[in-house]
Amino acid sequence: MLRKEDPDRYFSCLFAPEAKRPHLHALYAFSLEIARVREQVSEPLTGEIRMQWWRDVLCGEGRGDVHAHPIAGALLDTVATFNLPVQALKDLIEGRSFDLYDDPMPTRGDLEGYCGETSSALMRLAALVLAGGRDPGGAEAVGHGGVAYAITGLLRALPWHAARGQLYLPGDLLARHGVTRDEVVAGTVTPGLCDALAEMRALARHHHAGALRAASQMEAPTRAALMPLAVVPIYLKRMEKRGYEPFRTLITAPSWRRLYALLSLSRKL
């Protein structure tokens, strides 16, 4: 599932020790499962029920044989093996609850907070696994890294989010560039929107650079948690090519290009 639906994180696991890869797969598959709840339900209440099931699983209150669920079983095994903080996983679920609704993202600070609770927290948990459950250090690196990775992902997903009425672009950013929510949801490209998206890309690059600067604060074996960042510059650059249409262009890259970027980053970390 991970290789098919989240190949960037799957490929990044290839640069981690083989014994740790199944546990990274468990974390990333859990995150993917939570992230796609919105796509699998017809109304927020049903999504909230699914989210609550995962909270119950983490608290040991899940109904039935939760270990029979392949992702839940693998996640619980990973939590137990490395004594991972359950609260961080519950906070990730709480952050993802925002996805179930069409509420606007009020400010840049709110966006960075959302990315921190979801993407940065996941990087932190991956670093804990790679450190064998010990404190890996590098809170600054994973904090910046998670925000960079998440913002890039949200920009890539803009066509899908806009089509279903979701808006992750911060309200204060849109207001500063004279863009309305209705214009974004309608898929209307304006000079103001292009400027707003350029500012978002600059924000992603700012956090990406911050993560790489702070990587030295992490123990060397745990830096593989930052490997997903390898694809961030690729996607951001492709958004700046001539002919890019924010609501139509599918931003991706060949597998060989992403693997080469991962190899290059692994030599720098």
Assigned token pair, 106: 């009020």
The residues, any chain, with a CB within 8 Å of residue 42's CB and separated by 6 or more, are: none
* Inside any domain, residue 119: yes
How much is the pLDDT for 106? Answer: 96
* Inside any domain, residue 269: no
Cβ atoms 196, 177 nearer than 8 A = yes
**How many domains does the chain contain in total?**
1
* Inside any domain, residue 117: yes
Task: Assign residue 153 the CATH number of its domain.
Answer: 1.10.600.10
* Inside any domain, residue 83: yes
Task: Compute and round to an integer the Cα radius of gyration of the chain.
Answer: 18
The residues, any chain, with a CB within 8 Å of residue 99's CB and separated by 6 or more, are: 35, 37, 38, 166
**Positions in the chain short of pLDDT 50:** none
**Strand locations in the chain (E):** none
How much is the pLDDT for 61? Answer: 78
The residues, any chain, with a CB within 8 Å of residue 23's CB and separated by 6 or more, are: 74, 77, 78, 81, 82, 129
* Inside any domain, residue 257: no
Cβ atoms 4, 65 nearer than 8 A = no
- Domain of residue 199 covers 2-250
How much is the pLDDT for 63? Answer: 61
How much is the pLDDT for 65? Answer: 74
The residues, any chain, with a CB within 8 Å of residue 10's CB and separated by 6 or more, are: 2, 3, 25, 28
* Inside any domain, residue 260: no
* Inside any domain, residue 267: no
Q: How far is the CA of 230 from the CAs of 105, 170, 186, 245, in angstroms?
A: 27, 25, 32, 23
How much is the pLDDT for 60? Answer: 86
Q: What is the pLDDT of residues 167-187, one digit of tens each?
A: 999 999 999 999 999 999 999
Cβ atoms 97, 144 nearer than 8 A = no
Average pLDDT, the chain: 95
* Inside any domain, residue 262: no
How much is the pLDDT for 68? Answer: 81
Cβ atoms 102, 92 nearer than 8 A = no
